[in-house]
Structure 1
Amino acid sequence: MRSSWLHRTSTQLSVSLVCLCAALLSGLPMQSAGAAPISPADPDKVLRAVIVAPETGFDPAITRDLYSTFITQSIFEPLFTYDYLARPAKLVPLTAEALPDVSVDGKTYTIHLKKGIYFAVDPAFKGKKRELTMADYVYSFKRLLDPALSSPQAWLLEGKVVGLDDLAAKARRSKHFDYDADIPGFELIDRYTLRIHLNQPDFDLGMILAHQPTGAVAREVVEKYHDPQGQIMANPVGTGPYILTEWVRGSRIVLTANPDYRGYIWDFKAGRDPGDQRIVAQMKGKHMPQIGRIEISVMVEDQSRWLAFQNDEIDLFQLEGPLAPQALVNGKLKPELVKKGIQLSRIVDPEVSYFYWNMRDPILGGMRKEKIALRRAIAMAHNVREEIKVVWNDEAVALEYPIPPGVVGYDPTYKSSIQFEPEVANALLDTFGYKIGKDGWRTLPDGKYLQIRYTARADSNGQQQLEMWKKTYDLIHIHMVGDRKPFPDILKAEKQCQLQTRTAPWIADYPDGDNFMQLYYGPNIFQNNNGCNQIPEYDKLYAASQKMPAGPERDLLYHKMARILEVYAPIRVGYARYRNMLAQPRVIGYKKHPILPVEWMYFDIEKRQ
């Protein structure tokens, strides 16, 4: 079991003591004395990065927040990944030898694994060098459906693999998941070949197997370090380029290059983009990764992050909307920053920030007409474009469709039936009995008190969102109270359907519309369906869409599903934010990827003088 000191928030211990304890007490891997490193990473090349909210932990089957995913992506490797420079995103092999061989009917995937890939050195392997095999992937896939874990990532494989759901159902009855049980859906041809048999066609499975939760976890690691829930949030051990060597919860994370990582030679191709051509000229032929140490600080407040970047205490920095005027003019760097050599990588994130109303909440939820009217009225009272201007300093684009730009299935011509119409919203509430009392606030149709609680992150950005939504509710005479919570607490609460309403951002796990339409699918409640939405018409269409490849036929179903969301209003589509990444002049070859959470295994940095 890991040492309890990992759970302390105190930073009084010296860095050397932290590193030593992390290695000796919690089992974090250390290079054996005298062992020659394989990784080309230079320990004197240090990248200092920052995240805007506390991490939750580093078990790929459990982690669902973006910031923890920065770490899991660096440690655990799925079978596939994405080309660093290709746009739109292009699927490529990672630990697999090649892209999967897919049957004509889309129901059978055959995948071959590269030989000679090893897990990082760890006491769990009892001094032996541990090679990665396809059995490790089968074990990791099964973990996603283990009822004891309650993985929020179960949706990735749920209902898809022949026999896997039956195994999970048996575990729910027996209270024991049999990881040794053979199922027809996972056919191990040999140590390095896996054939996956699906219940129905799934043309997105390759992209799903590039998503971080499907990264390979060794069974020995889970058995040595698991907590009572079976999780390994504090003891990640993978085959990837980095290992966790220091962790002070909610404060500081340090990754160092895995000395036994196999590495690769940088050989990505540039298109017509001059920026890509410059990156190729800087990076081509380098043995990767180059960066030997990554120091990640948690800084919740915008101004603290900006000041640290200005003082050259941070090398790579996400400039969120509230800070945009400090560095940008019309989407471009200010001249004084250009003069300093500061670099900007700017994209519209393949994300949707949407507003949900909890469909299980006694005030907002349900399918009765007056409940639908209440949600539709709130949706029509909210001025999305004003929120973009006030909260995000115009660093976002308003969306009409549930699928954002840059994702397969996006329709730029779609027009939502929900628009900013506060007069209509008030009339709708009047019609369905939400009367305005003497105090100026509306009551429920039965005359009882009506109050809505909106939840936001406990930071300056969250405060702005609270103020924006208070204005929305004031427009329709509904009393709103603000609820500020730490980010990990928000994720935990909404997974259990405990929040009334909030603005929920979702960034693409993979660049297909399915990844966004699943957010409102009934069986995904307690996973990614934050609003706990269950509409039979929607669920039926979504299930049908999963059997189809991308194309006009599936797009037609997506259109119908979008209209259903507008009619019943469990959510309202909001916006996709720009992602502005600022880098110091010493950063070499950096470009923000639309799907990969982090890119530090693909670029270089000069040593600090």
Structure 2
Amino acid sequence: MVFFMGIVLILGMVLSACSSSSSEKSSGTSEGSASGAPQELTYAMTSKIVGLSPIMTNDSVSTAAINQIYETLFTKDPKTLEIKPLLAASYDTPDDKTWVIHLKKNIKFTDGTPFDAEAVKYTFDKLRDPKTGAPRASLLAPVASVTVKDKYTVVIKTKEPYGAMLAALAHENAAIVSPTADKKQDLMKKPVGTGPFMLKEWVAGDHLTLVRNPSYWQGKAKLKQVTFKVVPDVNTAISMLQTGQVDFIDGIPSSQWDRVNRLKGIKTMKKAGTAVAYLGFNVRREPMKNLAFRQAVAYAIDRKAYVKQLEGLGIQSNSIIGPKVFGYDKSAEAGGYSYNPKKAKQMLKENGWEGKTIEMLVANTENYMKMGQIVQDQLQKVGLKVKMDTMEWGTFLDVSRKGNFDITFLSWSNSTADGSELLYPNLHSDNIGSSNVTGYNNAKFNKLVEESRASTDQNYRKQKLDEANKLAIKDAPWVIMDHGVVTAAYKDSIKGLTIDPTGLWSLYKVYKE
């Protein structure tokens, strides 16, 4: 996700256990808690939802809502990281290119139509179809065919062995949609899934209201209603949390962490996450396509000082694959380019780039703005002129995917927890024009990533990912700003809330007491 996400290792934790010594009481009834507290929750988000189709979105803000409405065939246990069946009942692998998936029975979409093998085939075929233009089509790129064996059995054939298959099928963008609904309406605006909640109202740019699915196959959610409220200013969002107008916020910027921690009646948590934030070069343009220019920029950035300003809400690293992601090897930290402004200035001057004006595209969220302001100042100190263009999140996603920038800042949540699903969608040439926004194309790198995907031998996969990671670090299409820390704050009356290192959460078991 371009945030996003994907990303992708899910190491969840119960939030209420992270910052309080008090034990959580037993879950309330589906109609209300013992104290009679209203079973409604309001979540404040600083960016607006782009859309509500798992096939057509790839940003963390939209995914937070989609995750309550739709479900995947498999899911990751937030405590053990084990991939477990969700809509699937079980699976067989008669050979290394065949996945036979047996589905759970008697499940319905919220439009009343059945969840079955035809729905799975429809979803996966549409996700894979180039005409769809799905941002995360790469999840199923190795798939050769999806066939219906019977009403509750799907057979997936791959072109080569695909070691990350189950991780891909547990990814939110592989959630199953209602074929009937998709054919008659725009799922970006009117979603229909099998999940515990369904759409009541969406006023774009203002709020989204979900109500519980009365026929949910695992039993009704405890919350009757959930509202996603757009609050662009984080200071306002925190004030609303303090006054009780909202119940839950996440993605708290470092500048506000101490303030939130001091609030009475509010619990907080932070945990090392899977997300990686980076400065990306548009390598299709001059001088960004020149390695020496990218190196000079990398030398100019004091990333240690940047991470220090995050006050514990970021982890410094040279590695593209983070410590919480499959494929990481500590030896990768020796790569990259350390802060050396003198060398940066010399390289720019020697190559005739001194005084060059470059366009920096920045989303207008606090963390990205912080990155942009710091980097703009540091690049100007070594002799570059930097024009910063800021825009709101949805517009930023469109502009960045079209390559209308010189340098930009993005992040990837990596919700599959697999390094190949970080490197392949973001840096493999297959995905230029979609999730590979920098346009990076290196044949050797491509081959290493392909080898990491086309094997079920996990030791071999890890070796290839490490090689690919180190090559990309040296080639510098990205300069890693930090690896993320998941943060959240919520009223102490909220129980049952869980969050994983990608920042994703489910409200199915949440209730108020």
Q: TM-score, normalised by structure 1?
A: 0.75
Deviation at 1:379, TM superposition (A): 0.9
Whether 1:195 and 2:195 are equivalent positions in the alignment is no
Kept after mapping to 2: 8 A contact 1:137/1:214: no
1:411 matched to which residue of 2? 329
Question: By how many angstroms is 1:49 displaced?
Answer: 0.5
TM-fit CA distance, 1:147 = 3.0
Matched, 1:75 2:69: yes
Q: Which residue of 1 aligns with 2:248?
A: 316
Aligned mates of 2:148, 2:460 — CA distance in 1: 35
User: Does 2:226 align with 1:294?
Assistant: yes
1:355-434 correspondence runs (5 A): 355-365=279-289, 371-390=290-309, 392-414=310-332, 415-434=334-353
Q: Secondary structure at the match of 1:541?
A: helix
The question of whether the paired residues in 1 share the 8 Å contact of 2:319 and 2:473 is answered with no
Give the C-alpha shift of residue 403 in structure 1.
1.1
The number of residues matched between the two structures is: 478
Q: Does the CA-based 8 Å contact 1:41-1:289 persist in structure 2?
A: no
The CA deviation string for residues 378-426 of structure 1, in whole angstroms up to 9 with x for no partner, is 0111111212233x33410111211112221222343223111112212
User: Paired residue for 1:154?
Assistant: 137
Deviation at 1:112, TM superposition (A): 0.8
Q: Among the aligned pairs, what percent are the same residue?
A: 23
- Whichever of the two has the greater Rg, that structure is 1
State the secondary structure of the residue aligned to 2:388.
Answer: strand
Question: Partner letter of residue 134 of structure 2?
Answer: S
Q: State the partner residue of 1:304.
A: 236
Please state if 1:352 is matched with 2:258. Answer: no
CA distance in 1, matches of 2:408, 2:234: 21
Q: Does 1:249 align with 2:214?
A: no
Change (3 A) 1:462 1:562: closer
Question: Could you report, residue by residue, the CA deviation over 1:83-128 in whole angstroms, capped at 9, with x for unpaired residues?
Answer: 24x14x2211111113x2224x53111111111001113xxxxxxx
Residue 498 (structure 2) pairs with residue 516 (structure 1): no
1:107 aligns with 2:105: no
- What residue in structure 1 maps to residue 377 of structure 2? 471
> Equivalent residue of 1:144, what SS?
helix
Counterpart check, 1:456 vs 2:362: yes
Q: Distance in 1 between matches of 2:151 and 2:503?
A: 28
Q: In the alignment, which residue of structure 2 is the partner of 1:561?
A: 468
8 Å CA contact 2:273, 2:503 repeated in 1: no
Counterpart in the other structure of 1:124: none
**Residues 321 and 469 of structure 2 are in contact (CA less than 8 Å); yes or no, is this contact kept in structure 1?**
no
* 1:152 counterpart SS class: coil
SS in structure 1 at match of 2:484? strand
Q: SS state of the match for residue 449, structure 2?
A: helix
2 CA distance for matches of 1:557 and 1:145? 25
**Residue in 2 aligned with 1:91?**
83
Q: Tell whether the 8 Å contact from 1:402 to 1:562 is kept in structure 2 after alignment.
A: yes
> Aligned to 1:217, which of 165, 169, 177?
177
Residues 561 and 203 of structure 1: is their aligned pair in 2 closer, same or farther, counting only changes over 3 Å? closer
User: Which has more strand, going by share of residues?
Assistant: 2
Q: State the superposition RMSD in angstroms.
A: 2.0
Rounded Cα–Cα distance in structure 2 between residues aligned with 1:399 and 1:596: 19
TM-score by length of 2: 0.89
SS at match of 1:349: strand
Letter of the 1:326 counterpart: R
Equivalent-residue separation in structure 2 for 1:573 and 1:548 (angstroms):
28
3-state SS of 2:143 partner: coil
Determine the C-alpha separation between the residues in 2 that align with 1:246 and 1:465. 35
Q: Retained in 2: the 8 A contact 1:107–1:198?
A: yes
What's the CA shift for 1:41?
5.8
Higher relative contact order, chain-length normalized (CA < 8 Å, sep 6+) = 2
- AA paired with 1:404? G
The 8 Å contact of residues 152 and 526 in structure 1, kept in 2 or not, is answered as no
Secondary structure class of the residue paired with 1:350: strand
Is the 8 Å Cα contact of residues 77 and 212 (structure 1) preserved in structure 2?
yes
Superposition pairs for residues 137-286 of structure 1, below 5 Å? 137-158=120-141, 160-162=142-144, 185-226=145-186, 232-264=187-219
Output the amino acid matched with 1:523. D
Contact in 2 for aligned 1:40/1:263 (Cα 8 Å): no
Q: Which residue of 1 aligns with 2:24?
A: none
Residue type of the alignment partner of 2:254: G
- In 2, are the aligned partners of 1:154 and 1:527 still within 8 Å (CA)? no
Counterpart of 1:502 in structure 2 is: 408
Which ranges in structure 1 are unaligned for 5 or more consecutive residues? 1-38, 122-128, 163-184, 227-231, 265-287, 329-333, 366-370, 435-441, 444-449
Map residues 558-597 of structure 1 onto 2, 5 A cutoff.
558-595=465-502, 597=504
Distance 1:463 1:199 in 2: 42
Does 555-564 or 235-244 show the bigger shift? Answer: 555-564
Report if aligned partners of 1:239, 1:261 keep a CA contact under 8 Å in 2.
yes
- Tell me the SS of whatever aligns to 2:372: helix
Letter in 2 for 1:377: A
CA distance in 2, matches of 1:148, 1:156: 16
CA distance in 1, matches of 2:165, 2:140: 9
Q: Confirm or deny: 8 A CA contact 2:413 2:503 kept in the other structure.
A: no
Structure 1 counterpart of 2:48, one-letter code: P
Unpaired stretches in structure 2, ≥5 consecutive residues: 1-28
2:58 to 61, 64, 74: 64
Distance across 2 between alignment mates of 1:560 and 1:406: 17
Q: Which moved more, 1:138-147 or 1:542-551?
A: 542-551
- 1:50 alignment counterpart: 44
Instruction: Look up the match of 2:107.
Output: 117
Which residue pairs with 2:118 in the alignment? Answer: 135
Distance in 1, Cα, partners of 2:323 & 2:224: 35
Q: Distance in 2 between matches of 1:530 and 1:396?
A: 23
1:329-355 Cα offsets, whole Å, 9 max, x none, are xxxxx4xx4xx3422232111111111
Stretches (4+) displaced over 6 A:
none
1:137-175 C-alpha deviation (Å, 9 max, x unpaired): 1000011123332111111112x122xxxxxxxxxxxxx
In structure 2, do the counterparts of structure 1 residues 596 and 83 end up closer, same or farther at CA, with 3 Å as the change threshold?
Answer: farther
For residues 555 and 459 of structure 1, the distance between their equivalents in structure 2, rounded to whole angstroms, comes to: 34
Cα shift at 1:560: 2.6
Task: Provide the rounded CA distance (Å) in 1 between the counterparts of 2:82 and 2:232.
Answer: 33
Amino acid at match of 1:243: M
- Residue 309 of structure 1 deviates from its aligned partner by 1.0
Distance 1:296 1:203 in 2: 36
